[in-house]
Structures are given as C-alpha cells and as structure tokens.
Amino acid sequence: MNSIHLICLAVKNISKSLTFYRDGLGFETTTEEEKPAIVFFNNNGTKLELFPLSDLQKEIGDSASDVSAGFPRFTLAHNVRSKEEVDAVMQRAKLAGATIVKPPVVQSWGGYSGYFTDPDGFYWEVAFASDWKFDDNEMLIIN
C-alpha cells in the first residue's frame, strides 16, 4: 500500500462546499446537481471527495465524534511554482469565502506559504519553494 487515491472531506453543507471548491477555487467535477449525495473532483493525482458529515459518521459507525473541537491534526496542501501563484491562490480562496488563517510569508524552512480554511474549517496550505520540481502531471516530486 504505497499510494493515496482519494481524500474524503466530511462536510456539513455539501452545496456550500461544492460551490466553494468548484466555483470558487476552480476544482473540476462532472457533478451538475447543486445538492448531490457526494462529489468527486477530477484533479490530477489524488482525487478529492466531499461527503456529507452525518452520512459518513453513519457509514463509519461513529456518530459520537466531535468533529468541531480543535485543530484537525492535518492540513491539505496545494503546491505552486512561484510566490506570485501563492498570492493569487490565496486571494482566489479569500474571494471564494475562505478564512485566511495565516497570510503568505517566508517560512523557516525557506519556502513561501500561507494558510486558509474552507467553509468546514479544513486547513489548506498554499506553498512554493524554489528548489521544488514537478512531474508531467503537475505533482510535486519529493526526494
């Protein structure tokens, strides 16, 4: 098991999240309904899925979990090729309704990144580092 094919976000309002990711951030999907049961985005590499929180809790059998308490212990990341792209993506996210948690700055590890949260509070990092390389599918190469 050496790959992740799908990241599923358990969302409180699938219509609002669909609008945020599809219309706000430009994620591509074949979903045409405004309130679908689930949504898959056709991005390169690992796919992103939106799944209603209450339905996912039922499927897993864990309806007692408090998903609103504290930092979720993970972030999602979108890596780009320049500082200007970081700034542009952060601005696009803000216009789409994201909450900017940390505006882009030069980080201690030498890169440039910022953080925002989506309508459900999931943390996203938008990052650039001058020594990063990308493959033909725009996926970050990590050595």
* Model confidence pLDDT, tens digit, residues 57-110: 776 776 555 555 666 767 899 999 999 999 999 999 999 999 999 999 999 889
Length of the chain: 143
**Same-domain check for residues 7 and 46:** yes
Query: Where does a domain end: 29, 60, 91?
Result: 60
- Nearby residues of 35 by Cβ (< 8 Å), 6 or more positions away: 14, 15
Q: Which helix (H) or strand (E) holds 91?
A: helix 83-96
Model-level pTM?
A: 0.82
Pairing state of beta strands 39-41 and 76-79?
Answer: unpaired
Q: How many domains would you assign to the chain? A: 2
Quote the domain boundaries for residue 44: 1-60
As a whole number of angstroms, the distance between CA 65 and CA 10 comes to 12
Mean pLDDT over the full length of the chain: 88
Tell me whether residue 8 is in a domain: yes
Structural contact between residues 77 and 114, judged by C-beta atoms closer than 8 angstroms = no
Structural contact between residues 9 and 103, judged by C-beta atoms closer than 8 angstroms = no
**Same-domain check for residues 80 and 109:** yes
